[in-house]
């Protein structure tokens, strides 16, 4: 058994990076030892340290984007936007911490005061995903550090090099080595980290199945914070759209950005029967223009490969399963080279399928569902255990209000794609998409806990009822 983890480039299969598999107990102990000193620093000191981190990343932007592109397979232009999000996260988190966890003092009786302040939890574990291997874990780590926590970060075993570079940038900025620990490894190391007594919480971004397992693991540990940011089976409803090409473009962005490897990607396209053909024709016309290629190709591709051959194989099996259940293929999911995980955008009509699988197809597959009326469209949008993102394209303001009020999701858009949520707003879902601890701007909420204090400079106390009159007591 090897004690090293190897990362390969999805687009080429070439070895990119290797690192020694770590020990969860060792990393947690190191973070535990370093945490008190970091927590004792002022919030301003920690914020300034993270601002230096943003500057470090800015100075290494080209290197960082190149590594993300090579390790994930996403186009270089998209990797650059991810690095930009890493940089911008710092100021957003500074603002969020000040707004979400302010210190407050309120007047109380007899000259006393009520104070509300916040404390860090201690040592937080962060498990990162492969689709945004820098931005998404950074979205947990930066708020956690500002709040005064130490962090043990295990990147996805599919993108460890990006995780290692992210940690290098924290340390170059002056975050103490013990305060951010890097744990390299696979699922076994992730489970070991989640099970450490020395962590005070776990912040996770990944699949619903893994999130459910963590929820069960933490069921008898209410003293530990657990924030789950999971996937989605997201609906995109196109209804009486006046601009069909614009609606098709939004559908394309929703379903196929990042090769469909976004938790907010549209998985189900819901259209009124009788209007679907024009919408689908416009989408197919756009699909014909999509360039699928390697990250550094010229001209730049719209999407690259999925993360690895295993993911491509699984996606093909899921697509075949829909066909076997009666799905009508509109555009096939092709695999141009069986040795590499490139797949082409696909569309399949699943309207006639009884018992349509409620699962996240994590790739560029869009399932078409035709419905007779808007009420059925809303019901179909809610026909899922997930609840992350949903979008209505077209429709009237009154229909959007109905859509917003009745659809169960944490991100609900109008005439916008399902993906691309802003970092200066909360982000999260319900159902199998999360556990009511939204991240992004609201990450400050789970990185510190409020402490209420009743305070007075002098001790004063009296009991007005229930005591015997002292004058009536016998000597």
- Catalytic annotation, pick one of 27, 71, 229, 360: 229
Could you tell me which of 356, 351, 387, 354 has the C-alpha nearest to residue 372? 351
To which H or E segment does residue 167 belong? helix 160-172
What's the chain's length in residues?
Answer: 475
Provide the sign of the torsion angle of the four alpha carbons 412, 209, 340, 163, taken in this order.
positive
C-alpha span between 19 and 14 (Å, rounded): 15
Q: Quick one: tokens of 82?
A: 């991810």
C-alpha span between 294 and 280 (Å, rounded): 27
Q: Are 429 and 387 contacting, i.e. CB atoms less than 8 angstroms apart?
A: yes
- The SS3 assignment for 240 reads coil
C-alpha span between 210 and 364 (Å, rounded): 22
Cβ-count burial 217-230 (b if 16+ within 10 Å, e if not)? ebeeeeebbbbbbb
Q: Are 451 and 468 contacting, i.e. CB atoms less than 8 angstroms apart?
A: no
Q: Quick one: tokens of 59?
A: 């100075």
- The SS3 assignment for 441 reads coil
- Catalytic annotation, pick one of 71, 157, 263, 380: 263
Instruction: Provide the CA 282 distance to its chain's centre, in angstroms.
Output: 31
Question: Mind giving me the DSSP string for 383-439?
Answer: -SS--SEEEEEE--HHHHHHHHHHS--SEEEESS-SS---TTSEE--SGGGBSS--E
Catalytic annotation on 263? yes
C-alpha span between 249 and 244 (Å, rounded): 9
Q: Are 389 and 371 contacting, i.e. CB atoms less than 8 angstroms apart?
A: no
To which H or E segment does residue 376 belong? helix 374-381
Catalytic annotation on 447? no
Helix spans in 41-172 (H): 43-59, 61-72, 76-100, 135-147, 160-172
Question: Which of the residues are catalytic?
Answer: 229, 263
């Amino acid at each position: 058994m090897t004690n090293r983890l190897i990362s390969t480039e999805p687009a080429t299969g070439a070895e990119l990076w290797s690192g020694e598999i770590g020990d969860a107990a060792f990393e947690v102990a190191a973070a535990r030892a370093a945490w008190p000193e970091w927590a004792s620093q002022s919030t301003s000191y920690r914020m300034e340290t993270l601002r230096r981190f943003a500057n470090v990343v800015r100075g290494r932007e080209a290197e960082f984007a190149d590594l993300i592109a090579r390790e994930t397979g996403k186009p270089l232009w998209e990797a650059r936007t991810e690095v930009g999000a890493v940089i911008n996260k710092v100021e957003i988190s500074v603002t969020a911490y000040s707004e979400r966890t302010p210190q407050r003092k309120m007047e109380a009786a007899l000259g006393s005061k009520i104070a509300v302040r916040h404390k860090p939890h201690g040592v937080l574990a962060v498990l990162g995903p492969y689709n945004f291997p820098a931005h998404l874990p950074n979205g947990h780590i930066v708020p956690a550090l500002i709040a005064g926590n130490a962090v043990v970060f295990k990147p996805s075993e599919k993108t460890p090099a990006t995780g290692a570079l992210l940690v290098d940038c924290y340390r170059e900025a002056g975050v103490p080595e013990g305060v951010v620990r890097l744990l390299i490894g696979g699922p076994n190391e992730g489970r070991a980290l989640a099970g450490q007594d020395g962590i005070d919480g776990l912040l996770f971004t990944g699949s619903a199945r893994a999130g459910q397992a963590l929820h069960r693991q933490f069921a008898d540990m209410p003293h530990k914070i657990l924030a789950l940011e999971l996937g989605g089976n997201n609906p995109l409803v196109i209804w009486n759209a006046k601009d069909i090409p614009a609606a098709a473009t939004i559908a394309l962005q929703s379903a196929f950005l990042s090769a469909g490897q976004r938790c907010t990607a549209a998985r189900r396209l819901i259209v009124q029967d009788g209007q679907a053909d024009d919408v689908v024709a416009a989408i197919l016309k756009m699909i014909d223009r999509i360039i699928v290629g390697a990250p550094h190709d010229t001209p730049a591709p719209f999407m690259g490969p999925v993360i690895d051959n295993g993911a491509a194989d699984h996606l093909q099996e899921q697509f075949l399963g829909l066909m076997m259940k009666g799905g009508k293929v509109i555009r096939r999911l092709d695999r141009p080279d069986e040795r590499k995980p490139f797949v082409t955008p696909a569309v399949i009509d699943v309207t006639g399928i009884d018992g349509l699988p409620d699962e996240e197809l994590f790739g560029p597959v869009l399932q078409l569902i035709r419905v007779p009326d808007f009420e059925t469209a809303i019901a179909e949008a809610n026909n899922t255990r997930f609840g992350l993102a949903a979008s209505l394209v077209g429709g009237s303001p009154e229909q959007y209000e109905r859509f917003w009020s009745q659809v169960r999701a944490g991100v609900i858009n109008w005439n916008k794609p399902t993906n691309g949520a802003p970092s200066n707003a909360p982000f999260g879902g319900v159902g199998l998409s999360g556990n009511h601890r939204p991240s992004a701007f609201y990450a400050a909420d789970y990185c510190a806990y409020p402490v209420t204090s009743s305070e007075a400079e002098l001790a004063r106390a009296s009991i007005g009822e229930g005591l015997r009159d002292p004058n009536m007591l016998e000597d």
